[in-house]
Amino acid sequence: MPGYRCRVPETLRLLLTPRWIGLSLFALLVVGGFGLMSHWQWDRAHRDEASDAAASDPAAVPIGQLLPGSVALDPTAYGRAVTVTGKYDPATQRLVPRGSTYFVITALHPSTGGPAVPVVRGSTAHPSAPAPPTGEVTVTGRLQPYDGDPGVQPSDADLPAGQAARIAASALVPIMGPDLTGGWVALSHQSSSPQSPGSALPVITPAYSTAASSGGLLWQNTTYAVQWVMFAGFVVFMWVRWFRDALITSEPRSAE
């Protein structure tokens, strides 16, 4: 500014007034808060995603806790691990084409009663699969929602015997009966009695939707960290500008 010269005594005198002491402390608190927010976002951007996913993946629970009766699967339960004990109905086994492979799905009737649970026991590259175990089994797997139902398509009628077009309730009810759970289970582990060993099918690994696994989230947190630093810089800029203007205003004018 024209006519402005920095004089240390005048600067200190103004800085030590109650008004500017209060404004300076407030600015320091705001800048410190923004700095903490930036550090938090930076830390989140560099966290160990594998550890986060493991920590946010609850232990398996009985299926009835998350999928009671025939109630539709709640979106918050997608991918949650569940357990169910019962017996497979081999007459309900179907192959569902998925790309170059087939999902092998079979109805499991829980030993405690209730709706049948469609279980995808694994996948196969061939249009045939071994029968399920005949005795009681305990299945651990991931809850998954049914496919959308686009209605009857011409290709549905052309499917070979023993296949289903999709894992949709409308496609499974005629095969497994009307009393079905509101979602299906992707098997990840199965235990059975020695008299009825399970088939050796490669299991599928659907994504756990509520686990942190997106690399885009890291970039988003990094951007937030930079934004908080910019906010802190803006507070410092405004404090300097206001103090400079106040200092100029307080200078005694030279006599004309």
> 3-state SS of the chain: helix, strand, coil percent to 5?
40, 25, 40
Residue 221 is assigned to a structural domain of this protein? yes
Q: Answer whether 107's CB lies under 8 Å from 116's CB.
A: yes
Q: Answer whether 185's CB lies under 8 Å from 139's CB.
A: yes
Residue 168 is assigned to a structural domain of this protein? yes
User: Whose CA is closest to 92, among 103, 108, 72?
Assistant: 108
Residue 198 is assigned to a structural domain of this protein? no
**Pair (79, 143) in one structural domain:** yes
User: Rounded distance, CA 174 to CA 184, Å?
Assistant: 16
Cβ density class 157-173: b for 16+ within 10 Å, e for less: eeeeeeebbbbbbebbe
Which of the 8 DSSP states describes residue 76? G
Task: Give the domain extent around 73.
Answer: 58-192
**pLDDT tens digits, 20-74:** 888 899 999 999 999 999 888 888 777 655 555 555 678 889 999 998 888 888 8
Q: What is the CATH number of the domain that holds 181?
A: 2.40.50
**Pair (90, 184) in one structural domain:** yes
Residue 185 is assigned to a structural domain of this protein? yes
Residues 6+ apart with CB under 8 A from 226: 38
**Pair (186, 63) in one structural domain:** yes
pLDDT of residue 155: 54
Q: For the purposes of burial, counting CB atoms within 10 Å of the CB of 253, is it exposed (0-12), middle (13-18) or buried (19 or more)?
A: exposed
User: Whose CA is closest to 143, among 111, 174, 182?
Assistant: 182
**Pair (79, 153) in one structural domain:** yes
**Pair (99, 156) in one structural domain:** yes
Instruction: pLDDT band for 5, please (50, 70, 90 cuts).
Output: low
**Pair (85, 12) in one structural domain:** no
Q: At 182, give phi and psi (nearest 5°).
A: -80, 15
> Amino acid identity, residue 23?
L
For a pLDDT cut of 90, what percent of the chain falls above it? 36
Give long-range contacts, CB 8 A cutoff, 24+ apart: 165-170. Answer: 165/96, 165/97, 166/96, 167/96, 167/103, 167/105, 167/118, 167/120
Reading the block at residue 9, the tokens are 């005594």
How many structural domains compose the chain? 2
Residue 52 is assigned to a structural domain of this protein? no
**Pair (16, 78) in one structural domain:** no
- Mean pLDDT across the stretch 131-141? 91
